[in-house]
Each structure stands twice: as structure tokens, then as C-alpha cells.
Amino acid sequence: MYRIQFFIALLLLLNPLSACKGQGNGNGDPIIPDPGPGEDTSQVALYATSSDKSLLFSKVPLNFNKQNYQASNTIYLNSAEKFQEMDGFGAAITGSACYNLLKMSEEDRAALLKEVFHPVEGMGYSYVRISIGCSDFSLDEYTCCDTKGIENFAIHPYDKRDLFPILKQILAINPHLKIMASPWTCPKWMKVNNLTELKPYDSWTSGQLNPRYYNDYAKYFVLYVKEMEANGFSLESITIQNEPLNRGNSASLYMGWEEQRDFIRDHLGPAFEAAGIKTRIVVFDHNFNYDNITSQRKYPLNIYADPDAARYIDGSAWHAYGGSVSELDAIHAGYPEKNIYFTEMSIGTWSAATKEECFSNDLMWNMREVCLGSINRWCRAVIMWNLLLDDKHGPYRPGGCGTCYGCIDIQSSNYRTLTRNSHYYTMAHLSKVVLPGAFRIKSSGFTAAGLYTSAFINKDGSLALVALNDSGTPIGITVNDGTHSFAWSIPPRTVASFRW
């Protein structure tokens, strides 16, 4: 059995596109829609991507064993033992991503968004993150209230022009899309240099929120949620501040845990409650290592320790630009009733000397550390940074990231030629087989050096397994759910997603 499975894998490695349905986009990246009726009789949907690109979300035929097979390399799934519910997977829809999408022809844009977001015919991305006001990937610096006085609140024209039509197009493809919104900065007139001197701070970068304006800023969030809803965009969640410990981003605001605690407890939480807003409030939204600021370690746990603040808070959000995902062990252990979300990670020229090396290395690292690493530590959602950037890493704001790759990059010479990067595929491997509302379930049995897995049961009763072989040799596995079993040899340095 394993020799047959390995032979199939070898054939695919030699000719990966033979396993793919559909056509490419002109530059060799395959687009893999689900096969039509009668084209595929496989009992197990299997998709594979290898670090050397010999497999790029290639669909591999796979059937159940004729008998409920058990072997020494069997992974056993127990759907009766459930862990966290999964909200979804996706990428950030930044101002830059919208700009690039709108530069495409209507036909090409529709095809790309269908590929990414359609729950059946595409990859099924189901959770996106947007900025409240600008981010470092916007066309300018702005908030929703740049004229002093909260009565001057208004959604910025850039968002109405660029973000709204893209979100509407995505929602037409996937009406169940979840949206998380995060501010990069409060309005400048709300900023002070520090909380001791309280001097006005007229800068997009750094500064702190003046406690005098806590109530106005709470109204700002209420107005934003209601205005977005009025335009057809229901917000699943908001974070209080993107990277609150990063003073250096082109648009930024320093906000220690004490500030977030007081702001939520005394202002934002009561304001949401009074307005009947059900949007989840999520804290932190920054790195595993707290940017090495000793006083800010265990940031969310410090806030949760205040029950009057904690009662308004759904959970915490995390980035992976510093520290280890193992930090989530302590976060969950401290307050297991609070949810965990992974909300940002990018790749860029810092990742490796060449883009090919970047793909190879990050496909493994991202799936191991960010995706499976956070999911196996109670994370409900995983969102990557920047769905679409151009070949010049932008557009981006001065002082922002000028070296980032998008999940997908587009050539600015024609706004048509696409390159799908590693984090596009890691999200696809999750979103294609793990549907919103799925539960992570217990798996046990076979382990091997370099093998990482996570198992799920979807709401429709189907099962899913996402596996990574981060070793240099094939790893043969048998999967047994108590009713069915199947076997496959995962090629070296390959991600594999199964659904049955």
C-alpha cells in the first residue's frame, strides 16, 4: 500500500500539474477549482504544496482503504473530543490591496476574488482584517475624524472609494465572510506625547491616547461599527490598537496594557453595551515577545485580571514578528475561557536571499509555527498580512514596510500577472478543508520527526486533517477515524490537506 502511495506521490513530483484541474494565469501558478460533476470520484479530497513548488495546491486522487486499516503509522481521530471552534482563515484587505485589485480588469479581479474567497469553487478564505482609518499600507495617512471634535466623524473617502467596493464584491462571493477591524492610530488631536506631560502630539507616528479623550474615542469605535453596518459590513471583531507596543510604524500609537484596560473597562465596553453592539472586543494584537518590554509581558493576562474590564473582552490577538508561539500556552492556561486569534504575519526580503528561498523556507515555518502552532494552542482564526501587493512591495507609506511581499504579488506593468506566495498557500490549505464553525478534535497515535498535524470536524460532519512534513524524507501516514481509513506518503517538505 505505501509503495503504491509513494509511487503516486513520485509521479506528482515529476509532473505536478497533471493532478491539477483548471488553467494557470499565464505565469505558471495553477488555479485549482473543485472538479465538476463526474470528473472526480475520490473519496478523500487531498491537496498538496511542496517547498520546491513541484506541487502547488495540487489535487491528488485518494480513496479509502477497503478495510478499516490500522498500522504502526496510524493517526487516530476522535471527533467526540472537541476543542476550540474555528472562525476562519484569510488575509488583510488593506488600502494597498484594494488599490491593486482596482487596477485589474473587472474580469481578472472577479476571477481572482472568486479563486480566493469562493467557499466551494475557490480556496474559501473566510476571515479578513481591515484598518480603521489608514495603515502603513494605505495611500495616505488618515483617520475617520481628522478635524477636531467627534461630531466630525466620517468614513474617509479613500475607504468609500476603494475598500467598500472590494468588500462588497467579496461578500457577493462569500456572504458569510467575517471582518476584523483594527486602528493603526487614533486621530492626531487625541494624542499626547506621554501620560505625564500630556502635551499635544501632532504626529501620525507614536504618541499616546490622551485620557481626556477616552470617551470620545469610545464613541469613535461605536460610530465606526454602526457606519460600517449601515453600508452593509457587519464587523465580527475589533482590536483596540494594531501593535500597541510599536512606536515606530508610519501610523502608530503606543498603548500599554493599563491603558487598554482602563479604556475598555470605563469607556469602550459600556459604550458598546449601551449601543447594543455585539462586535467582539479583542485586546493586544501584537508580538509573542511583547517587543521585549518587561512591563508589558503577559499583556492580555494583566487586563483579564480586572474582572470589570474582562467581562467586555472576547480574547486576544497575536503577531509573530518576535517571540515564540509557545507563549500562547500560558495565555490559554491563565484564562481558558478567553479566545485567541492570530491576526498578522508577512514575509519579505528579510526572509531569505531570494524569493524562491523565501517561498521554500516560509512555507515550512509559517505552517509549522504560525498555522498549526497557533491552532494547536487554541487559536480560532489565522489571518495573514496583505492579500495583494505589487512587485515593488506596495503601495506603502514612508516609514512602513517597504520590503513585504503580499500573499499574492501582481506585476504593476500590467496588473494581471500574479505570483502566489507561501502564505497564500498556507491559508488555502486551512480554509479549503477546515470550514467556519468546525471544531478542532483530538488526534493521537503515530508521530515522527518533522511531522505536524491538526484534525477537525466540520459542521456538515466531514472530517479534515492538515499535515506538514518538514523533514527531508517522505513520511507515510495512515489516518483512521474509526469508520474509514486511508494512507498517503507525504513528500519531503510538503503541506497536505485532507477532507473526507
- CA gap 275, 481 in Å, rounded: 46
The three cell numbers locating residue 227: 457606519
| Stretch(es) of the chain classified as CATH 2.60.40.1180 | 2-83+440-499
pLDDT at 29: 56
pLDDT at 19: 35
Confidence check: pLDDT of 477 > 50: yes
What's the pLDDT band for 28 if we cut at 50, 70, 90?
very low
pLDDT tens for residues 359-393?
A: 999 999 999 999 999 999 999 999 999 999 999 99
What's the pLDDT band for 303 if we cut at 50, 70, 90?
very high
Q: What is the DSSP string of 185-197?
A: ---GGGEES-TTT
pLDDT tens for residues 227-239?
A: 999 999 999 999 9
pLDDT at 2: 41
Q: Which of 156, 374, 125, 389 is nearest to 251 (CA)?
A: 156
pLDDT at 39: 57
What's the pLDDT band for 25 if we cut at 50, 70, 90?
very low
| Stretch(es) of the chain classified as CATH 3.20.20.80 | 87-433
CATH of domain 87-433: 3.20.20.80
CA 35 from chain center: how many Å? 26
Q: Which residues contact 308 (CB under 8 A, 6 or more apart)?
A: 265
Confidence check: pLDDT of 208 > 90: yes
pLDDT at 498: 98
Q: Which residues contact 285 (CB under 8 A, 6 or more apart)?
A: 182, 239, 240, 241, 242, 243, 244, 316, 317, 318, 319, 343, 344
pLDDT at 399: 85
Q: Which position has the higher pLDDT, 400 or 417?
A: 417
For domain 2-83+440-499, say whether CATH 3.30.40.10 is its number: no
How does the average pLDDT of the chain come out, rounded? 93
pLDDT at 40: 67
pTM of structure = 0.93
pLDDT tens for residues 59-84?
A: 999 999 988 777 899 999 999 999 99
pLDDT tens for residues 432-455?
A: 999 999 999 999 999 999 999 999
Q: Which position has the higher pLDDT, 164 or 14?
A: 164
Q: Rounded mean pLDDT of 6-23?
A: 38
What's the pLDDT band for 33 if we cut at 50, 70, 90?
very low
pLDDT tens for residues 256-299?
A: 999 999 999 999 999 999 999 999 999 999 999 999 999 999 99
